Amino acid sequence: MQKDQGGGAPATPRLRHRKRSNEVPPDVGKANESHFLVDDQNKYRSMWIRAYSSVWMIGGFVFTIYMGHLYIWAMVVVIQIFMVRELFNLLRKVHEDRQLPGFRLLNWHFFFTVMLFVYGRILSQRLVNTVTLDKFLYKLVSGLIKYHMVTCYFLYIAGFMWFILTLKKKMYKYQFRQYAWTHMILIVVFTQSSFIVANIFEGIIWFLLPASLIVINDIAAYFFGFFFGRTPLIKLSPKKTWEGFIGASFTTIISAFVLANIMGRFQWLTCPRKDLSTGWLHCDPGPLFKPENFILPGWVPQWFHWREIPVLPVQWHALCLGLFASIIAPFGGFFASGFKRAFKIKDFGDSIPGHGGITDRMDCQMVMAVFAYIYHQSFIVTQSLSVEMIMDQILVNLTFEEQRALYMKLGEIIQERLFGET
């Protein structure tokens, strides 16, 4: 039954305000579908802000590449920290966090534990190579590597116990949601970014070339869409157009072929880093980076007077990377767009003016890094074992007495073969 309110002032109904969304309303998207983006004067201001930020990012990126492998790895770590911070904040609720002191610190405990585990496995051998000449450091590092996995495990268990001991009544649902969200973030970020670090130490070119192709594709798609965009590409990203997608694809593939030729001529970019030093690199570039003459089709000399051109074999592999960067990698951006729509946000953060957060710039990079690593291991690395790899395993896993016994045994085997042949 309704209460009788006659004789009193009319009750004011309580309005429920919906949380504002930063998404572009569907009507606006439909209204703009038939117009060039270049006709929208408001886009010029955002374009200049975006261009200004891009110049600073590219400049810092080039400087880091010049400094070398360790600095690039440090840059990746900084990017990871920013990405994880942005993703942690997506489900953060200030009111609940105030009732759970130290809960945010627990998330970062899991983050640095996973970082120690992932990078410890990737860089352990290079760390050994760096300290081999110092007996004390060699024994210390060898011991740390030997117990690396158990150390990381107990650090994780400590975090697990910390989480259980901090469970609070009426907060269980929020805490377990945060626990699951933290683990999902760490799996996604570190599973993919670990491939980036592996690519760096295989040769900077395997990090720089894929990353550059994503940047080129993104810039080309923006400008082609800005000046020629008319046909919407996908509903998840209303600003993406078929014109931008196709124009960026051609630009990326051509750029891949040209950039591979330029990068492939510098040993600083092609040589793998076997230790954690920062000195200059010298190595045999191998057949992948040695020019071969490519005979052009018969109609080309009629127009350009070229019968053959020098081509590095790595350029043909670069075409595959360019094809993936232009057709498949953008789906990482589409995934991120759908993810942001699900959370009703425009960007993951505001770290980069005109671009959003760090995560907004890394969505396609993550997908590309995994493909570059898998492609390199599947189609470029020719052998699974080498003398250097076996020697590395001997130095890390065998004691000095075992190494001496192995040396004596190998000497006996070699002498038996020599006398057997004579």
CA distance 4 to 248: 68
pLDDT of residue 421: 63
pLDDT of residue 170: 87
| Residues in Cβ contact with 142 at an 8 Å cutoff, skipping those fewer than 6 apart | 128, 396
| Residues in Cβ contact with 88 at an 8 Å cutoff, skipping those fewer than 6 apart | 104, 107, 181, 182, 185
Mean pLDDT by 10 residues, the chain (422 residues): 44 44 44 48 71 84 92 93 90 80 90 94 85 81 89 97 92 93 90 86 94 93 88 85 94 96 94 88 88 82 79 95 95 88 82 75 89 93 70 78 90 84 60
Report which secondary-structure segment, H or E, holds 270. Answer: helix 267-270
Residue 310 CA to its chain's centroid (Å): 32
Six-digit token pair at 38? 């270049």
pLDDT of residue 386: 67
DSSP secondary structure, 59-126, as one string: HHHHHHHHH-HHHHHHHHHHHHHHHHHHHHHHT--HHHHHTSTTHHHHHHHHHHHHHHHHHHHHHHHH
pLDDT of residue 41: 56
What's the whole-model pTM score?
0.77
pLDDT of residue 10: 47
pLDDT of residue 23: 44
CA distance 340 to 23: 9
pLDDT of residue 355: 67
Closest CA to 213 of 254, 272, 241: 254
pLDDT of residue 90: 85
CA distance 145 to 367: 30
**CA–CA distances in Å: residue 310 to residues 205, 209, 268, 270, 404:** 19, 20, 21, 18, 49
Question: What separation, in Å, do the N-terminal and C-terminal C-alpha atoms of the chain show?
Answer: 112
